[in-house]
Amino acid sequence: MPVTQSKLEPMLIDGELTESTSASRIPVYDPSTEEVIVEVADASTAEVDAAIAAARRAFDEGGWPQTTAQERGRILFRIADKIRAEAAVLAELESRNSGKPIVEAEFDMADAATCFEYYGGLATKISGTVNPVPDNALSLSMKEPVGVAGQIIPWNYPLLMAAWKLAPALAAGCTCVLKPAEQTPLTALKLAGWLGKCGVPPGVVNIVTGLGETAGAHIVAHPQVDKIAFTGSAAVGKIIMKSAADTLKRVTLELGGKSPNIFFADADFEAAIDGALFGVFINQGEVCSAGSRILVERSIYPKFVDAMTEKARAIKLGPPLDRATKMGPLVSREQFERVRQYQAIGRSEAKVAIGGGQPKSFARGYYVEPTIFYDVDNSARIAREEIFGPVAAVIPFDKESDAVRIANDSPFGLAAAVWSRDIYRALRMVRAIRAGIVWVNHMQPTYVEAPWGGYKQSGFGRELGVHGIDEYLETKQVHINLNEQPIGWY
């Protein structure tokens, strides 16, 4: 593919926008045209080392953990303001690079700004406790930043994931080395150019580009990094956990899912159909919490599959920058091929209600059809493995207990949704489902104020809300003796 611009996007190391000297480059694509937009570096080991050393210095000597919480908060507010001011530019870049519809990219930019605002406010609410020890002493638990955070993020919500990582870390007083996904580094690199003006001191945030297997793995293994926060595939999560064990780093993992979206016969039918489609087709299905297993009570099952199919027919596929587009191309050729493979697997495992292939109307671009498989057995590969594309597996169930059993019969446990007008049943389901997030009569709403993360192989640790900042804090026990006499033991 011809490189339309042979510019190399700089990285942020120690407060400087640094053009990499690495011989290895990564083309960054527009997935709707399959053309290269720009190139980024696959940062060399020396460059990643320099970023980590800068973060280390900013933490150990640069005084970032000692800045007042008020000052850190104000810096985060300025970052939020800048993102809001540049939202149109950022959204366009995000949409073009990731393939997501522009309207969705605009929501993401607003959410990224809100995330910085939330943690800007939370910076001044970190407080410790006084412990009631049985002695003439003052016992304190103090919260302190964990140190240098290595942050590795995926390509589905590029700037928003950067915000979820950077904002709580900075509020806590940590310094950061962030590596965006190689497919979608552009909005994070834009942000990199603004951080200094927002008041972020040199070295406090470093943003390096590179492949997961090289730059990413090096951050994870590096002895000067204290914590790894990762969002991505379960397969890479396992590699990261093993590698981080060598230096006993703190690790938080937000991994994949195969989330059940469960519909009882008494649910509002129209809202249910909408929720089923939105749950699995938003962002082309490239969502860790996608409601990719659609469990439907048998008495409404045929009608439900028909209605979903009918409505899915109207989903408008198109270029990401077209405001009418509801589904853009997948992010990359690799992801396109992966989803195409699962479509083929699905055709052999279940019945096709709609889709199952590539739309005819596009000469190029990584477009796939919104696909609904039905009569899927929960043991099928399309019901067990995360596809990360617009592919739904519809599964019938008979009783509430069957719904619970099927929902929980998964290696994953990120999210789930339950649709019913029966409050008793809905709340029983909330308790019975083993997942980190349960929505009732909705699918996918995500708020920075509420915790996010998974059970089982969907990972551990929580992002967002007050929980999110805890993952960047250590607890120090302080004992202050108030007896003026010697201990008197010897």
Task: Please give the positions annotated as active site.
Answer: 254, 288
Nearer to ligand ADP (CB atom), residue 209 or residue 420: 209
Among 101, 212, 257, 328, binds ligand ADP (CB under 6 A): 212
- List the beta bridge partners of residue 18: 11
**Following DSSP, what letter does each residue of 286-354 receive, concatenated?**
--TT---EEEEEGGGHHHHHHHHHHHHTT--B--TT-TT-SB---S-HHHHHHHHHHHHHHHHHSEEEE
Nearer to ligand ADP (CB atom), residue 236 or residue 312: 236
Helix (H, G, I), strand (E, B) or coil at 454: coil
Nearer to ligand ADP (CB atom), residue 161 or residue 407: 161
Residues of this chain, 153-172, that bind ligand ADP according to CB under 6 A: 153-154
Alpha carbon distance 428, 440 (integer Å): 11
Helix (H, G, I), strand (E, B) or coil at 127: coil
Closest chain position to ligand ADP (CB): 212
Q: Shortest gap between Cβ of 36 and ligand ADP (angstroms)? A: 18
Helix (H, G, I), strand (E, B) or coil at 424: helix
182 binds ligand ADP (CB under 6 A): yes
407 binds ligand ADP (CB under 6 A): no
Nearer to ligand ADP (CB atom), residue 301 or residue 336: 336
SS3 content of the chain, % helix, strand, coil (to 5): 40, 20, 40
440 binds ligand ADP (CB under 6 A): no
Alpha carbon distance 156, 193 (integer Å): 22
Nearer to ligand ADP (CB atom), residue 33 or residue 233: 233
232 binds ligand ADP (CB under 6 A): yes
Among 135, 213, 310, 398, binds ligand ADP (CB under 6 A): 213
Among 216, 257, 275, 413, binds ligand ADP (CB under 6 A): 216
Q: How many CB atoms lie within 10 A of CB 320?
A: 26
Strands 129-131 and 250-254: unpaired
| Residue 100, token pair as written in the block | 């997501």
286 binds ligand ADP (CB under 6 A): no
Nearer to ligand ADP (CB atom), residue 62 or residue 232: 232
Nearer to ligand ADP (CB atom), residue 93 or residue 215: 215
Query: Which range of residues in 60-68, 107-115, 159-167, 175-183 is near ligand ADP by CB under 6 A?
Result: 175-183
∠179-91-212 over CA atoms, to 5°? 20
Alpha carbon distance 179, 167 (integer Å): 15
C-alpha distances in Å from residue 292, one per residue of 85, 275, 381, 387: 35, 12, 12, 8
* First CA to last CA distance, the chain: 80
> Exposure of 83 by Cβ count < 10 A (0-12 exposed, 13-18 middle, 19+ buried)?
buried
226 binds ligand ADP (CB under 6 A): no
Alpha carbon distance 445, 438 (integer Å): 10
Query: Which range of residues in 2-10, 146-154, 244-252, 296-304 is near ligand ADP by CB under 6 A?
Result: 146-154
Q: Is residue 281 left, alpha or beta, with left meaning phi > 0 and alpha meaning psi from -120 to 50?
A: alpha
152 binds ligand ADP (CB under 6 A): yes
Q: Shortest gap between Cβ of 77 and ligand ADP (angstroms)? A: 28
Nearer to ligand ADP (CB atom), residue 12 or residue 123: 12
Per-residue binder mask for ligand ADP (CB under 6 A), 92-121, x = binder: ------------------------------
240 binds ligand ADP (CB under 6 A): yes
207 binds ligand ADP (CB under 6 A): no
239 binds ligand ADP (CB under 6 A): yes
Alpha carbon distance 124, 130 (integer Å): 18
471 binds ligand ADP (CB under 6 A): no
179 binds ligand ADP (CB under 6 A): yes
51 binds ligand ADP (CB under 6 A): no
221 binds ligand ADP (CB under 6 A): no
Q: Which residues bind ligand ADP (CB under 6 A)?
A: 152-154, 179, 181-182, 211-213, 216-217, 220, 232-233, 236, 239-240
